[in-house]
Amino acid sequence: MGIDLRVRLESLIVHPNSAAVIFFAGGAVAGLSVLLGSHNLHRPAAILLGDVCFAVIAACIVFAIGDRLPIWTLNVVLGVATVLISVAAAVGPNVHANLAVLYIWVALYAALYFRPLPAVLHIGAAGAAYVVVLAVGSNVNKPVVAWCAIFGTAVVSALVVFGLVSVLRRTSREDPLTLLPNRRTWDERADEELERARRNRTPLSLAVIDIDNFKTVNDRDGHQAGDLLLRKLADGWGGIIRGSGDFMARLGGDEFGLLAPNSDDIGIRRIVKRLHEISPSGVSCSIGVATWDGVETAADLFRRADEAMYHAKRERRAA
């Protein structure tokens, strides 16, 4: 049950539309609790009730069609949230004290799901909206202190969240040992390059690289020696392809992959020869290559290169 709950929570956090539903629903609950707990609101009560209704409607819309909405609509979602919070915070001092803190939610959402520039723009827009609220609508004592308290907290929270998200994004796409892209990033890039080759009618080649007798290195010299060898090879190979438009990733264990856009069979074999040449003395690799035939999928292309790699490994053992 614990694992299932964690998976559900992770799913909610990963999907910005699901998070938007939670934020809108939470804002509606916050507004309703303030409405029910306050007295003598009169006209402001109608404004706050309308705000709550809009939040509920927004939550229902995003919940119903969120997965079908284009990504740019997240900007609209966050803009609507900022407007609703501003309207609620402008109702009066008693309501303001309880609901202005929701601006921090805007900052957190922006840090979670937006790139730096859009996030800064949304947080800045929320800060400007709060200035307007304090200037014309809320009659709050010491408005400068109120603004600094809310947006000081919002900015610090957003910076922490954005830093954590950046680390998680990088580690989810990068092999921590060699600092090369990992298998997930490789699969995405292979599909992208194949689609580009199909669209532009350009060649695409792929190489699968496996270090010979790597297990022996680990057994004889220890895992630290094996890790050092992987890092040394990754650094050397990365130096060859850096700036060339080629793409290398660690696929797992002692296996690496190389994508070579605009390279035909001759071109990929020339690259492979250079990879062999810079390998440390006493270290050999089995490398299989394949060039896209214009029809096969990325998985089929990889399979051909992988089979060629195992064929090369068998020939080395038989020699």
Q: Which residues are catalytic?
A: 254
Query: Which residues in 130-148 are b (16+ Cβ under 10 Å) and which e?
Result: beebbeeebebeeeeebbe
CA torsion angle 11 14 17 21 (round to 10):
60
Q: How far apart are CA 120 and CA 151, in angstroms?
A: 12
Q: List alpha helices for 201-222, DSSP H.
A: 214-221
Distances from the Cα of 235 to the Cα of 29, 230, 231, 271, angstroms: 54, 9, 6, 15
Compute the radius of gyration of the chain from its Cα atoms: 28
Q: How far apart are CA 64 and CA 249, in angstroms?
A: 39
Residue 206 amino acid letter: L
- Spatial CB neighbours of 278, under 8 Å, sequence gap ≥ 6: 236, 237, 239, 240
Distances from the Cα of 197 to the Cα of 72, 184, 200, 292, 297, angstroms: 28, 20, 5, 9, 12
Q: How far apart are CA 55 and CA 35, in angstroms?
A: 14
